[in-house]
Structure 1
Amino acid sequence: MYKSSVLKSYYNDYIRDISIVFLLLLPLIICNAITLFVGHGLNLAQLSDLANNFFYFSNLLIGIYPIALCLITSYYIATKHGVNAMVVVPYSLLLFIAVSVPNELVSVQSGLPNNPLIALLAAMISAICCISFRLFPLDPSRIDFVNTLYKHVLHFFCFLLLTVALAKLTKIIMALSEYVRHDLSLNPLTFYGGLSYQFILGLLGAIGINGHNFLFRAKQQLFENTQQNIADWQAGEASLNVLGQGFYDAFLSMGGSGNTISLLLCILLFSKDRRHITLALSALPLVIFNINELLLFGLPIIFNPTLIMPFVLVPLVSFMVVYGAITFGLVNPVSTIVDWMTPPFISGYIATQHSLSGVVLQVVVVIIGIVIYRPFYLHYAGRSQSNNMTISRQHELDRSTLKSFLGDVNQVMSSYINKHDISRRVSRMLSRGEFIMHYQPQVHLNNDHCLSFESLIRYKDPKGKLWPPVFIQDFQQLGAIKQLDKMVIDLVLIDIQKMPLEKNCKVAINVSAETISDKHIVAYIVERLSYYDISPQVLEIEITEEAIIDNDKQVSENIAVLQALGITIAIDDFGSGYASFPHLLKFNFDKVKLDRSLLFNIENEREKSLYQLLAKISEVTGCVLVAEGVETEAEKYFVQQCGIDICQGFYFAKPMPLDNALAWTKTAALKDENIAKQGCFSI
């Protein structure tokens, strides 16, 4: 059951993602269809020079389409997964060109790579490589710039090796396809050969391959034989063949490949989703002229297993119906090659020697197509009559409509723009200003021989203005919180060298859950302690309670190793979220810091009782308790009555630079001549 739901989720996301990408390219596709339509119209009006201009632009749009597909697909997947798109896009473009050019998968007119399937695969493979081995953007101002640079070089070199292998694999596949085409002796002028020809065309078209190009020899032979047969018939030397180019164009491509006029009418007749109906109405003017890209990519049909089946099946059934009708003399044989953009019903009338029987036959074929498409479409849309739509299915349907597609695109684009702004802001902070540590006293109420300080990171801009730590969220959104934590570790260890620490005095460094769950963080801390020649016994690691810890096993291992080294482990902001107690049970903390929010309403009996209850945690766990956010004499007295010995807050002092903190320590020592002149710092 679990595997089934996972596969279903992947399927839904996959179809949805492909749809979003194709929707972004719909303006290009529709413009191409319009230029073709206008070009053919101008040809009919005998304005061939002007028509050629439109055909030129049509070829240009066709040439641009695969590259645009590659770039937009890689860009979309990268932004969706939070990977820097400026890394993925060049990778995908390189792979697309490297595979296409050596294998001659390029346009004759423009010389550009012209295979949409290769474009899509190149984008997906590149995105997977960059998502699997996530790299941070290169920033010369970062502390780990050189290390990151070498990672980028190694990653790119490995990707080049993969590109070479894929280019060779493509060559092998193309060679095999040549053998297949050579041995594939299709004859569209025979019944079974025609069925095979139509099946291959539909199957290839459903996965983004131009079947007419793949079966070019068979199609060219079909066209030539049809022309010859019509000429012989007109000369009275032969009868008309049942099968010919006009047969396929007039009856098997109504509304475009797959007889998609039947699907369009199916949506208009049976869909209850207004957005699908809007999509069908929008596609109607194009489908009338056998241009089905809006439906093909908008639902989508391409790469959609549910709709691929009727897309392939409808022309096959239509083939047999039309073949039987003409063979048994119910309808006149096709006597001309009708232009592919001739609207349905008109094409049937012209093709069958201006006979209404051809129109009636087309109507029958369209109705049969509606009947076949209907259950598949209703299943895809989630409105099968045999099942009631559940809430989750409704959600799935809402996600797969045109409006939500465009909304998702806008959301992704907005998210990327936001991340780009954050990246620029963080880069400016790293290169122009400086990060410094401030310290707030942490007072031991029943032990005047030990003063503690909590260190808070601040940013000082080039003008000397001090900024609060709102930038921490920027690092989190960029996925660089571990880099910030490592920078803080270095800043703190530098400050420790200036602190007159005595025995049993510790310095606590506040780190994120992401950092403490990193399997390399212990080695990093040990290396930095050795570099600055500082004993592990002076350190205390505080883990923020806000973040949910996912890798329980790794966190437990890291905590155990750090504690074995003599480093104290504390949980910060305890009580600020529902994860507090599970964290306390899972991990062996040495200290618990009660969040400031728990003191907001202690004048109320309920809140007071809750705080008193939490104060008993130390009796159960053996952890040392610290009351954060003490700002009044009443709050100080209350937490002291609760049995908590260590407090911090504005009541004692506000955060201050290291020099001021050291001076504050000396001032506090002078208040009682029994206080030793020593500092114990918590950062």
Structure 2
Amino acid sequence: MNHNIIIRNTKSIIHQLKIAFINNRISQAVLSCTMAIMPFSVLRGVVIVAGTLSLNFHWVKISQWLGDLQQNMLIFLPVLLNIIFSLQWAVRYRLSIMLSISLSLTVLFGIAGLENNHEANFLFGVSLPVALLSAIFTNLILEKNITLFRTNKIQLNWKSAKILSFFIARLTSLIVVGHIILSACSWLTKDISIAIYPDGFFHGLLYEMIREFTWFFGIHGFYIFQDIGFRFMNNTISNMDAWKAGHGSLNILSITFYEMWCASGGCGGTLSLLICLLISRNPSNRHLINVSLPLAIFNINEPLIFGVPVVLNPVMFVPFLMTPAVDYILAYYATLWHIIPPAQQLVGWATPAIINTWLATNGAFSAVFFQVLLICAGIGIYWPFLRYMEKRDYKEIALPCGKKRFVPLKGNQFQLTVPGHREAESPHHYLSEVNEYIEARRHINALQNSGNFVLWFQPQITLDERKIVAMEVLLRHQSDDGKITPPYFLKYYERIGMMPEVDFWVLENAVEVIHHEFSRFPGMTLSVNISPQTLLEPNFLSVVSKLLRNPLPSGWQLEMEITESQKVKEPQQVIEVLAVLRQFGIKIALDDFGSGYSTLSYLTQYELDKIKLDRTLVLGLAREGGEAFLHHVVQLCKTSGSIVLIEGVETEEEHQIVQNCGIHLAQGFLFHRPQPLNQLCELLETNT
């Protein structure tokens, strides 16, 4: 019993760690820039393959040129990662793009220069973690001091000088600390590097296992032990040159040995895992296969490792370690006993399986056949673990047509999915949150490439006079062919943590519309939806303050609606932010009250100017007691001192009932549908 409790608690902790990892804004940014940089990695892989093929055809000069090209790409890769992270962070958190990139590169160059000041090209050997961490900490420091750069010029006073001095001191300290940490890590790992350098069977196996083990935390072991990799590469080249000159025999262990036998499809022998997914009948694997298959051909397996997931997943990490270990042992002794020949030339890591073995062994069929056997052995290792996860998370049922179908389990029950909807996932489903993140990114990229976002508006009217007194700003997507799409796409932005970026864009454009289009009309209220996620942004208030430097036209007011469909995670912090917004003269409204996460405590917890009742209360009027219930809700809302508005009024009967319940403001299709800016301006001309 105690054993089962420990297992359940361990699973719960790991699952919570996964969710915390995915929802953390730094890990989201890291994952995003990792996906953005992947085409560059694939292109480098293609260059490596082309160089290998050129050497095989004795095109020496072309092969050397391609080798230099991929080496320069490797040197530039950390710099590119640093730039991409800074660019995305700056756009995401409304920082200066050029300032963010410039400072991040300065810190990176500073750390690299101190660490390798004896090198002519001091960027050579700078690892991706160093480039990434320098960008992360630089942008966090910049974000904390962003008020210093919000104005057009830095004011020459003691306060600004003090802030600037601290800012420069923090960046300088970051460079020094980065250098100290790198030096300490080099000193600490010196003995480790000696212990695991692959100069024999045991050390070679230990080297492989330690490199693979770091993937449990999503870290590529090659970059941690990059110094061993460079040394091992040079020794491999020297050994092969000596063998070709007739001065020695080939070593069993080489860089190519690991690429051929232990990394088919990428680290962990994940080509075997991919084949398991292909032969599995579970339809939930299809998207992961589509994403992973093209990259796995070139031995790039990050989508597979994060998508299955292997990261932070004890079940799938067992075969992830076992497969390369078994491959290593079998390949080592097969080479030692002359069953297969050793690697005779270098083959790039991105060369596809079978081809890499054929080239490395000069066309030895025995080696190619042996690699196929190892891939099959890997399938045998991965398969029971994958089936265990499927049985744990899914139930296979027989349909009347004779076919079988997987349905997701939930607790001890299982439920069929609704046709036309994406299949629900159990809490422990092996397609992790990262897969959803990738899917959201794909949808967002498709939207951005197929059109533009535009603002539409829906008037809010007084029920007695039907006079427009306010407008709600609505976000729409307009495709290149003119088709307008409602904001169903917002769920993708919410999933990847980009709702603040959307809200900032809407807010900025809404304020601009007030100044340039609405200033000729009598003062009204323009209402903008703001998610709780945006309210908690560190620079939210500074962005709003900057927008309101230019006062709104006479009589106009800005209103922010808390998007109540998202749960408020930090209510106390939201209260503080709303209080500052009210000091700016901004009205506060609670949107969709009566649905989602709303509670009665919101009425006393937040100081509200308006409460918008959800359309579900209008639909409830058709039920017995619906009108009485609405009347009580309205009276309850009025006790908070807020104006009450109801959404979704579509018939004259509903109009009369809600007016009898004491509601004075409404919006709905009965009065005005959402409309673009030009139509709204024509409507306001007749309303004045």
Q: TM-score, normalised by structure 1?
A: 0.58
- How far apart, in 1, do the equivalents of 2:393 and 2:627 lie? 58
The match for 2:204 is: 194
The match for 1:532 is: none
Match of 1:292 among 299, 302, 318: 299
- Matched pairs, number: 543
Match of 2:311 among 304, 314, 317: 304
Equivalences for 1:189-338 in 2 at 5 Å? 189-202=199-212, 207-208=219-220, 209-210=222-223, 211-225=225-239, 227-228=241-242, 230=243, 242-243=252-253, 247-248=257-258, 250-270=260-280, 272=283, 273-283=285-295, 287=297, 291-293=298-300, 295-296=301-302, 299-300=305-306, 304-306=311-313, 310-311=319-320, 313-327=322-336, 329=337, 331-334=339-342, 336-337=344-345
SS state at 1:393 partner: coil
SS state at 2:426 partner: helix
* Structure 2 contact 262–269 (Cα < 8 Å) conserved: yes
Q: Deviations over 1:509-537 (max 9, x none)?
A: 998799xxxxxxxxxxxxxxxxxxxxxxx
Equivalences for 1:82-231 in 2 at 5 Å? 84=95, 86=97, 89=101, 92-104=104-116, 111=123, 114-126=126-138, 128=140, 138=150, 158=166, 160-180=168-188, 182-183=190-191, 184-186=193-195, 188-202=198-212, 207-208=219-220, 209-210=222-223, 211-225=225-239, 227-228=241-242, 230=243
SS state at 1:25 partner: helix
- How far apart, in 1, do the equivalents of 2:530 and 2:575 lie? 28
* Structure 1 contact 259–366 (Cα < 8 Å) conserved: yes
Shift of 1:331: 1.0
* Structure 2 contact 232–255 (Cα < 8 Å) conserved: no
* Structure 2 contact 232–254 (Cα < 8 Å) conserved: no
Question: Are 2:423 and 1:393 aligned?
Answer: no
- How far apart, in 2, do the equivalents of 1:387 and 1:44 lie? 48
Change in 2 beyond 3 A, CA 1:399/1:163? same
Further displaced range: 22-31 or 597-606: 597-606
SS state at 2:431 partner: helix
State the identity as a percent: 17
- How far apart, in 1, do the equivalents of 2:252 and 2:658 lie? 96
* Structure 2 contact 270–320 (Cα < 8 Å) conserved: yes
- How far apart, in 1, do the equivalents of 2:345 and 2:622 lie? 91
Change in 2 beyond 3 A, CA 1:614/1:158? same
Further displaced range: 11-20 or 188-197: 11-20
* Structure 1 contact 135–152 (Cα < 8 Å) conserved: no
SS state at 1:207 partner: coil
Q: Which runs of 5+ in 1 are unaligned?
A: 434-458, 496-508, 515-543, 561-569, 630-636, 650-683
Change in 2 beyond 3 A, CA 1:373/1:91? farther
Q: TM-score, normalised by structure 2?
A: 0.58
SS state at 1:470 partner: strand
Q: Deviations over 1:204-246 (max 9, x none)?
A: 7872444454443344335434554x469x57xx776654566
- How far apart, in 1, do the equivalents of 2:136 and 2:48 lie? 31
In structure 2, give the amino acid aligned to 1:265.
I
- How far apart, in 2, do the equivalents of 1:352 and 1:601 lie? 75
* Structure 1 contact 83–130 (Cα < 8 Å) conserved: no
The match for 1:448 is: none
- How far apart, in 1, do the equivalents of 2:611 and 2:527 lie? 23
Match of 1:8 among 18, 21, 37: 18
SS state at 2:85 partner: helix
Change in 2 beyond 3 A, CA 1:429/1:94? farther
Change in 2 beyond 3 A, CA 1:50/1:608? closer
* Structure 1 contact 546–576 (Cα < 8 Å) conserved: no
Q: Which runs of 5+ in 2 are unaligned?
A: 1-8, 396-407, 410-423, 449-491, 580-586, 647-655, 667-688
- How far apart, in 2, do the equivalents of 1:348 and 1:488 lie? 65
Match of 2:374 among 359, 365, 369: 365
- How far apart, in 2, do the equivalents of 1:574 and 1:62 lie? 51
CA-based RMSD of the aligned residues comes to 6.2
Further displaced range: 31-40 or 548-557: 548-557
In structure 1, give the amino acid aligned to 2:526.
V
SS state at 2:114 partner: coil
Query: Who wins on radius of gyration, i.e. which is larger?
Result: 1
Shift of 1:69: 1.9
Shift of 1:48: 4.0
In structure 2, give the amino acid aligned to 1:397.
L
Change in 2 beyond 3 A, CA 1:303/1:52? farther
Q: Deviations over 1:595-651 (max 9, x none)?
A: 899999999996775576578769x97x8898999xxxxxxx999999x9x9999xx
- How far apart, in 1, do the equivalents of 2:358 and 2:611 lie? 85
- How far apart, in 2, do the equivalents of 1:315 and 1:596 lie? 57
Change in 2 beyond 3 A, CA 1:467/1:363? same
- How far apart, in 1, do the equivalents of 2:295 and 2:361 lie? 27
- How far apart, in 2, do the equivalents of 1:339 and 1:546 lie? 54
* Structure 1 contact 255–261 (Cα < 8 Å) conserved: yes
- How far apart, in 2, do the equivalents of 1:469 and 1:138 lie? 28
SS state at 1:125 partner: helix
Match of 1:407 among 443, 447, 459: 443
- How far apart, in 1, do the equivalents of 2:346 and 2:236 lie? 14
The match for 2:526 is: 470
* Structure 2 contact 561–588 (Cα < 8 Å) conserved: no
* Structure 2 contact 532–567 (Cα < 8 Å) conserved: no
Shift of 1:30: 1.8
- How far apart, in 2, do the equivalents of 1:477 and 1:331 lie? 61
The match for 2:44 is: 32
- How far apart, in 2, do the equivalents of 1:639 and 1:352 lie? 82
- How far apart, in 1, do the equivalents of 2:342 and 2:530 lie? 68
- How far apart, in 2, do the equivalents of 1:222 and 1:169 lie? 35
- How far apart, in 2, do the equivalents of 1:94 and 1:52 lie? 32
Shift of 1:123: 3.5
- How far apart, in 2, do the equivalents of 1:101 and 1:555 lie? 44
